[in-house]
Homo-oligomer: A and B are copies of this chain.
Amino acid sequence: MQRGAGVMTPTTRLSREQLLDMSYYLALTRSLEERLVNLYRQGKVIGGLYRSLGQEGESVASAYALEPGDVLSPLIRNLGSMLVMGAKPVEILRQYMAKETSPTGGREMNLHFNDLGLGYLGQISPLGDMISVMAGICLSFKVRDESRVGLVYIGDGGTSTGAFHEGVNFAAVQRLPLVVIVEHNGYAYSTPTSDQTATPRLVTKAKAYGIPGITIDGNDVLVVYEATRDAVEKARAGAGTFMIEVVTYRRKGHAEHDDQRYQPKEEIAEWAEHNDPIDRYTATLLEQEWVTRAELDDIARRVSTELNQAVEECENDPLPDGATALSRAYARPPQVEPLWFRRLDG
């Protein structure tokens, strides 16, 4: 992330370099997922593949609004956020392929990994749980008088969980510096948001917790950046917890295996043609003449080269040695003994 670099462009708080930087992350996110689709089709991805197509904008732009020292917790579709925070494409690839060299040594899948130094804490599957964990991280910021902020994502579906409620309420009542991004992408697996909650605007949930909230166009990269930046700055200044509802759309199925039959084809096409966050962002950058076509082409080439390298770098990495599965259940003892039947002679 190229924080604070260069001179601000008019109407944004971002420099040209930063705008290009976001273009890079947007392109990287989309292209990395395309690589993953190829690997998935080749049977090299172990387990499912989850896409963020059409949602890359809100992931990248919201993460981009953070400062060094801040911490976010991504969901499965926040690949863009992870990359902005400094996760490497090769790490993502290794995770999806369960390589020995992956950040979790093959113990966990896809985006489920973390680097608190860089500022990201991977999710676990049960939805909503990360909110109170992030509240706890923000509690440490507050107790230690550190000027750091947390950011956590939750899907429209995830807002139905008790964990969401308890977590946001806890953060709000403790006035913790946490920004909650509610990703309103229309579906939770096959379930439309209207079967998830009776409120048409998820941001009304902020009121329940006595915290400010806004709804924004999640596919407008600059709007997401500005809104998140505002919330982050207020949280950093001690104003407590914020909620941002980003309105976006999940153009792919829940996972690669899902045929999306429950999503009207026209609906998908409409968003793809007229509301793609990358297309819109690119158009603005070019229209405003903040960047040139050549610069964007450069980015595309760079992304392609980097991803070629990344795939090459890890594709042939081995799976982890089976026995490593027995380490690290506890700090002490650091190793689970192999059970008696594994110690018998063949």
A208, CB-defined interface residue at 8 Å:
yes
A5 to chain B, nearest CB (A): 37
Find chain B residues with CB under 8 A from A194 CB: 173
| Number of chain A residues whose Cβ lies closer than 8 Å to a Cβ of chain B | 27
Distance A173 CA – B160 CA, assembled complex (angstroms): 10
Chain A contact surface mostly: helix
Complexed CA–CA distance, A151 and B260 (Å): 39
Answer yes or no: A141 CB below 8 A from chain B CBs. Answer: no
Q: Which of A14-22, A102-110, A163-171, A290-298 contacts B (4 or more CB under 8 A)?
A: A163-171
Which residues from chain B contact A175 at a C-beta distance below 8 Å? 198
Q: Which residues of chain A in 193-210 are interfacial with respect to chain B, using CB atoms and an 8 Å cutoff?
A: 194-200, 204-205, 207-210
A173 and B195 within 8 A (CB): yes
Q: Mark A145-182, 1 if CB is under 8 A from B, else 0.
A: 00000000000000011111110010011010000000
Q: Which of B196, B198, B209, B240 contacts A211 (CB 8 A)?
A: B198
Interface residues of A (CB under 8 A from B): 160-166, 169, 172-173, 175, 194-200, 204-205, 207-211, 240-241
The 5 A-B residue pairs with the shortest CB-CB distance, nearest first, are A162-B162, A198-B210, A199-B210, A165-B165, A208-B208
Assembled-state Cα–Cα distance A208/B199 (Å): 7
Min Cβ gap A163→B in Å is 6
Closest residue of B by beta carbon distance from A211: B198
Chain B residues contacting A205 (CB-CB under 8 Å) are 207-208
- Docked Cα-Cα span, A196 to B169, in Å, equals 8
Measured in the bound complex, the distance between the Cα atoms of B214 and A86 in whole Å is 48
Contact status A199-B195, CB under 8 Å: no
